Amino acid sequence: MRRHPTARVRAAVGALVLLSLTLLAGCSASDSSRPAASTPASSAPQTTAPPLPTPTSTLRTGTASDPLRYVALGDSYSAGMGGGDEHGACVRSPNAYPKLLAQSNTITLARFAACSGATTDDVLADQLDALDPQVDLVTITIGGNDLSVSALPSACARGETPTCRAAVTTSVNLLNSLPHKLAKTYKAIAQAAPHARILVADYPLFYDLPTITDKTIGSDQVSAAVAVDTAVASLDATIETAVQKQREAGTDIQFVDVSFGGHGVSSKHPWFVLKGLEAFHPTEAGYQRYAKTIAAFMH
């Protein structure tokens, strides 16, 4: 199983979270109270996460004659919104990462229950019936709609505006209630599919941020991009912590850190849809990255 250096990454992001929230506290680009650029992110206190126990994997090796029984849960990032050829009320795509994973002859997608717009409450109410004790593998992306994260890029598209500040504030305020919701969701999945490995994917950052310098720190566009990315990073860190707690309790659950580095919204070759109802969801290439990253946790 591949492990990601997420603890180190999240520690570095922590300083940017504080920076972005300060930038969005109502300061204008010319305000002398704007934080000085000379304070590096690395100055934030560094913490070392305790080593996690290694649970005994319940994931057997699938074969062509006896493939893994797989169920996909979650929101639009699981359903494949933005991947093309979407259909149905849940806006599912044949290019969604669950469909890509199931192209292997060692995996059978028994139920594709993910639905665009789903929250943790929706998973508990509408998707758990897809699970049973014979399920070998479960994947899920969930939490973004609980925080209204999908509204951030469009709200902040014109820079550090009142609309942008309000959207970021809403997401940050909702973050406090998410750990309990995630814990309840993960526990329910583990109870409904007690012999399955649960793979919890996070959300890629929307922007490839420039280096924070005296020249860039005063930019409303950069300030807004930092705020959006750090809101998403805070969501991801919350998801990772919730997963770790379930692992420590003995559940075979893994956090999957997905990166679109170099392919953000403002890149030359973005892996996000930029227009329409599917805006700020992964493209087909983005879902291919999801599938490749998740597949590494199936061994």
pLDDT digits (tens, 9 = 90+) for 157-187: 888 788 888 888 888 888 999 999 999 999 9
- Quick check: is 281 catalytic? yes
| 282: nearest Cα among 164, 150, 88, 109 | 150
Give me the amino acid identity at 230: T
Integer-rounded Cα radius of gyration of the chain:
19
Residue 11's domain is classified under what CATH number?
A: 3.40.50.1110
Q: Tell me if 112 is assigned to some domain.
A: yes
Cβ-proximal residues to 119 (8 Å cutoff; 6+ apart), any chain:
75, 142, 145, 146
Does any domain span residue 281? Answer: yes
pLDDT of residue 241: 97
CA angle in degrees (0–180, nearest 5) for 94-98-102: 90
What is the structure's pLDDT at 150? 77
* DSSP-H helix ranges across 33-161: 76-79, 97-101, 120-122, 152-155
> C-alpha distances in angstroms, 140 versus 136, 250, 294, 297?
14, 19, 10, 13
Residue 38 covered by a domain: no
- 189/205 Cα distance (integer angstroms): 26
* 76 flagged as catalytic: yes
Q: Of 81, 75, 83, which is closest to residue 283 (Cα–Cα)? A: 83
Tens digit of each residue's pLDDT (9 = 90 or more) over 234-282:
999 999 999 999 999 999 999 999 999 999 998 999 999 999 989 999 9
**Residue 19 has which token pair?**
């920076």
Q: Compute the average pLDDT of residues 128-149.
A: 95
Q: What is the pLDDT of residue 6?
A: 52
Helix (H) or strand (E) holding 74: strand 68-74
Q: Is residue 41 part of a domain?
A: no
Q: In this structure, is residue 34 part of a structural domain?
A: no
* Assigned token pair, 95: 């290019």
pLDDT band at 218 (very low <50, low <70, confident <90, very high): low
Phi-psi sector, 74: left (phi>0), alpha (psi -120 to 50), beta: left
Residue at 140 is within a domain? yes
Residue 202's pLDDT is what?
98
**What are the tens digits of pLDDT across the range 78-134?**
999 999 999 999 999 999 999 999 999 999 999 999 999 999 999 999 999 999 999
How many domains, in total, are found in the chain? 1
Would residue 33 count as lying in a domain?
no
- Say what the pLDDT of residue 16 is: 47
Domain of 234, in residue numbers: 6-27+67-205+215-295
Give 15-67 pLDDT, tens digit per residue: 444 444 444 444 444 444 433 333 333 334 444 544 444 445 578 999 999 99
Q: Is residue 128 part of a domain?
A: yes
The Cβ-side half-sphere exposure at 183, using a 13 Å CA radius, reads 13
The mean pLDDT of 121-148, rounded to a whole number, is 96
The strands making up 197-201's β-sheet, listed across from edge to edge, are: 107-112, 68-74, 137-141, 197-201, 253-256
**pLDDT class for 154, splitting at 50, 70, 90?**
confident
**Active-site pick, 78, 171, 234, 281:** 281
The pair of three-digit structure tokens given for residue 134, joined into one six-digit string? 């014979």
Distance CA 99, CA 26 (A): 44
> pTM here?
0.82
Task: State residue 246's pLDDT score.
Answer: 96
Q: Alpha-carbon distance 145 to 74, whole Å?
A: 10
Q: Give me the catalytic one of 20, 76, 93, 234.
A: 76
